[in-house]
Amino acid sequence: MADLTSDFLGIRSPNPFWLASAPPTDKEYNVRRAFEAGWGGVVWKTLGSEGPPIVNVNGPRYGVLYGADRQLLGLNNIELITDRPLEVNLEEMARVKADYPDRALIASIMVPCEEEAWKAILPRVEETGADGIELNFGCPHGMSERGMGSAVGQVPEYIEMVTRWCKKYYSRPVIVKLTPNITDIRKPAAAAKNGGADAVSLINTINSITAVDLDDLAPEPKIDGKGSHGGYCGPAVKPIALSMVSEIARDPETAGLPISGIGGVTTWRDAAEFLVLGAGNVQVCTAAMTYGFKIVEEMISGLSQWMDEKGYASVDEVVGCAVPNVTDWKHLNLNYITKARIDQDLCIKCGRCFAACEDTSHQAIAMNPGRVFEVKDDECVACNLCVNVCPVEDCITMVRLEAGEIDERTGKVVEPDYANWTTHPNNPAATAAE
């Protein structure tokens, strides 16, 4: 049985599944129940400065993107940071940590970009016994209008400056939570690293309007006929998050910086994907908000089974395994040639591959009498669209041509050796062949 124990920045938790800073981690009641349900750690809902608490809207805070049968694919929110008094949160955090010493408890913090503000709050957080802090430089709505959240995360210099303050006034690990609402995620990550951050966590939510009410002509979620962009999360954002995590993991300037992976983690499989792309653990929110705390049981059992099947003994062995396989386009092997193959026994004759290829791709599928669909090798560029639109798993697969075979499309013999764009004759900048 694989060991799921996680050691992230020296913070130990029984598994790598943490609940992200969000409504599920709003208060003692929730966090205790989450720990009882089996979550390895919790990032407490973001704390603000002392004083009158934040106020939230009193109408809908969430908008949604549905798939079939109201399956929740994407969620956005316009909720702000905690709207409970600072001292209440701190007292609760201290109590919970004392009762659950084996679980990770992280304090998320968002205060103004002034040293005094950080200096004031950090010692108080430290007193709670929390295992570390996460700097919320990510929230793209509401607080950003006040110069916090993603307004900081979009300026690498600010990230570095605030991170330094935190390292100065706080002794435990500092995690910087990054906003994806930026052109190149490596820049803020590098800034965090330069500021002394122990880790980055990403992604925070993405600027979004989930829908427009076509009767009221107002964006969702709407408040009294008006809407404001919210932060998008859930399964739909996972591909964006995976890419950003991998960019930080493989960039020489940031490689080795621990990463807490966030963004649409819904199943054990999603979590495993984040881990192999370099995340040391994962944070979950939308899936818990959709299905409740119990889902962590599936995440634990699934990750454990997969690790057993693959022979991984610990989470650390998994982290970053796939990073060497993330590369630039120019390094992809142009002598790797595949063709689509349709398994006629599995084919249910829906014709979606044909419609997709004929109308929008390379006219490489023939529709023969009796609704028999066959790939035309002399036209197939192996784009994979037929595989993607086929409703039957494994009905269409991409089969590699062996070296020495003829690619009927180009008429050329398949070369055995790896060769990429950098040396391709069509590349004006190609290195001259020897």
List active site positions.
139
Nearer to other proteins, 120 or 367 (CB): 367
Least spacing, CB of residue 217 vs other proteins, in Å: 17
Examine residue 349 and tell whether it contacts other proteins (CB under 8 A): yes
Least spacing, CB of residue 368 vs other proteins, in Å: 12
Examine residue 367 and tell whether it contacts other proteins (CB under 8 A): yes
Nearer to other proteins, 346 or 406 (CB): 346
What secondary structure letter does DSSP report for 394? Answer: T
Examine residue 394 and tell whether it contacts other proteins (CB under 8 A): no
Residue type, 243: S
Phi, psi of 353 (to 5 degrees): -60, -40
The answer to whether 46 touches 81, Cβ cutoff 8 Å, is: yes
Q: How far apart are the first and last CA of the chain?
A: 53
CA 127 centroid distance within chain: 31
Examine residue 392 and tell whether it contacts other proteins (CB under 8 A): yes
Using CB under 8 A, which of 326, 355, 366, 414 touches other proteins? 355
Per DSSP, helices labelled H in 226-351 are 238-250, 268-276, 286-291, 295-310, 315-318
Q: Is the dihedral of CA 116, 91, 26, 195 positive or negative?
A: positive
Using CB under 8 A, which of 351, 362, 374, 414 touches other proteins? 351
Least spacing, CB of residue 353 vs other proteins, in Å: 9
Give the residue among 238, 215, 246, 8 at the shortest CA–CA distance from 132.
8
Per DSSP, helices labelled H in 15-58 are 28-37
Least spacing, CB of residue 180 vs other proteins, in Å: 30
Least spacing, CB of residue 241 vs other proteins, in Å: 27
Nearer to other proteins, 324 or 391 (CB): 391
Q: Output the six-digit token pair for 163.
A: 């991170």
Select the span of 63-71, 98-106, 158-166, 235-243 touching other proteins (CB under 8 A). Answer: 63-71
Give the residue among 205, 183, 185, 203 at the shortest CA–CA distance from 193.
185
Least spacing, CB of residue 205 vs other proteins, in Å: 27
- CA dist 366 and 352 (Å) reads 12
Q: Which residue has the tokens 């119990």?
A: 294
Nearer to other proteins, 24 or 235 (CB): 235
- CA dist 407 and 399 (Å) reads 12
Nearer to other proteins, 390 or 401 (CB): 390
Nearer to other proteins, 367 or 414 (CB): 367
Orientation angle between helical segments 186-194 and 156-169, nearest 10 degrees: 30
Nearer to other proteins, 349 or 400 (CB): 349
Least spacing, CB of residue 67 vs other proteins, in Å: 9
Least spacing, CB of residue 93 vs other proteins, in Å: 42
Nearer to other proteins, 64 or 323 (CB): 64
Examine residue 369 and tell whether it contacts other proteins (CB under 8 A): no
Using CB under 8 A, which of 225, 311, 391, 411 touches other proteins? 391
Least spacing, CB of residue 288 vs other proteins, in Å: 25
Calculate the CA dihedral of residues 118, 121, 126, 129 and round it to 10 degrees: -140
Examine residue 376 and tell whether it contacts other proteins (CB under 8 A): no
Nearer to other proteins, 310 or 349 (CB): 349
- CA dist 93 and 86 (Å) reads 11
Examine residue 402 and tell whether it contacts other proteins (CB under 8 A): no
Number of residues that bind other proteins (CB under 8 A): 14
Going by C-beta distance under 8 Å and a sequence separation of 6 or more, which residues neighbour residue 162? 113, 118, 135, 137, 152, 195
Give the residue among 77, 72, 81 at the shortest CA–CA distance from 229.
77
Using CB under 8 A, which of 69, 393, 402, 434 touches other proteins? 69
Pairing of strands 6-8, 372-375: unpaired
What secondary structure letter does DSSP report for 409? Answer: T
Examine residue 217 and tell whether it contacts other proteins (CB under 8 A): no
145 by Cβ neighbours in 10 Å (0-12 / 13-18 / 19+) ranks as exposed
Select the span of 127-135, 226-234, 239-247, 342-350 touching other proteins (CB under 8 A). Answer: 342-350
- CA dist 133 and 121 (Å) reads 11
Residues forming contacts to other proteins in the complex (CB under 8 A) are 68-70, 348-352, 354-355, 367, 371, 391-392
